Structure 1
């Protein structure tokens, strides 16, 4: 087979070498001719035409030789190709023949080997069946029965544990859900109650603001339609009624109904025009509206003489001093009223006169804890009192909210404790499940070892133990 491969290559290389040598010879010959022509051209410039003709003739000759050499080369290549095809076909037939022979030998050898192996395996199987059938059948049956019993017991234990854990988890989940629903319902109920109270308070505030606006509108109308103070206060009974009506209008328009009482009778038997029920530490404040205005009218009467007006001014001071003493004596009661009372002056001009020209009266009233108030200052005092009442109600609501928040915090603490206990039970159940899975894996591994009986230690036929 090596001869068939080497000879074609040798011929190809030889032919190529010959062609290469021929081409080199032709090129050398042409180069010599060209040099010769160049020398002749240099030597004889007049023979240039003859040199060109000679060069063309030489080129034609060289071209003819090259064409002949190329034709010879192509013929040689075709011949070599046919020879190579013949050699390759012969080589392929030889390889197919040898491959068939080798395949036949391999099939024969494999059949013989299969027969020998089958015979040896049958013998070994018979020996193993005989030895195992006599010595290990009873042992294997006993082990299998024992392992089956153990497996059934373990499976029963695992099932019972799983059922118990599942029941515990269901009970814990149910109790937790019930408690959460209960807490959620309580929280929602308390929040709704708080919202309702807030809405009610806001509604009451709006109502009070509406009343204040209405009172201001009425006061404006009264100020536009009021007649002269002297005409209105010409009669003593009218003077008292005027102060009470004005005070009642202010109190009703600003204060809530439950925070005051008109014509209230005290424990000493005296009847107050108005009592304001304010939160501690202020307490109940008595307001008197029977201000003595008769001498003030005479003091300001332009038709009266100077002496008469001076006498009226003195009597006016005396009336106010006596009225201050009467209020302090009648309307300041320990443990029942506040430590002071209010004297309502129904005219801003009178209030300004007292503060401007009679500061000793203001000082005396302050010492006896009698507070002077005009309609404007009374409105400010009542507005402040209403704010104090609102603040007290808010504090009560805050205390109630704080109490509910304390209850909620306590319930949440209990919930947290129960959640911790639940998490502990869940972790314990998880550990029990992991241990049960570990036991199941060990049992499965032992069953696998029993099923895979190790036979490596058994001797083959003909071998010594």
Structure 2
């Protein structure tokens, strides 16, 4: 047993020491194992206790959660019911609003459709008016072209001026107050002679205005053409004024003034603006240039003169009629005075009649006031009274 088994740090270890050390080590190992198992059991027990407590806590939490879930479920059901009722109310309100909006929209669409139809109807009417106006403009354009064609021809232009002049005179004067294309003693034939009253000479009117050179003025494109057209117009106009003075101004047969009729107001205006010297020359030659409006005014003045002359011719007849009218008024005055006297006498008679009727009424009242049964003496007294007249 004293046998040295090994040397540990310079100390010889025997078998006995080694066996004792091994037993101690085994006891320590067993004790450690026992302690470890107890520790594990305690830890396991503690873990089981903790797990049990945890399970109880979890169960309590789960119960709380279930309770909360139930409450939440109830609240959710309540909210669902509230939301359902509110949703139904909202749906009803939305449906009502949609119905109202649909009704309003229908009414608005109907009004819009009505207004659209009315606008289309008015548009069609205006289009019809525009069509008629366009047709009128087309007709007027044709008439203007026709008028231009007429004015481009000398003969047709003279007929046009003659026609306008005749229309103005025929509208203003009686048939006995004028003559168209009458022949003078010299063989000349003015376009119109207006007969003046009291045997006065007639007024000659010429309707042949020299328009060829005037048209050249309008169509001139250069200064040279304009000067040539002006010179041509002055020559033609001067020649025509001389012809009127020589042919139509006849002492004792026609007036010492003649009219030159211009059938266009625009031509008359341009003539007075651009050729005032020619107009003055015509006036010095006792030729008056007249437009349609001036001719109408002159004819109205002549008509007033004729009317005054006719009134002067009938003045003695008017005076005789006025004398007869004065005599008739005098006789009417006498008869009215007689009638007034008759009415006065009748009024007097009526006054007398009223006096008599008043007396009769008073006597009737007195008779009604009498009581013959109780007071006989009053009847005798009434009989004794004198009667009134």
Coarse TM-score class (shorter-chain normalised): 0.3 to 0.5
Of structures 1 and 2, the larger Rg is shown by 2
Taking structure 2 as the reference length, what is the TM-score of the superposition? 0.45
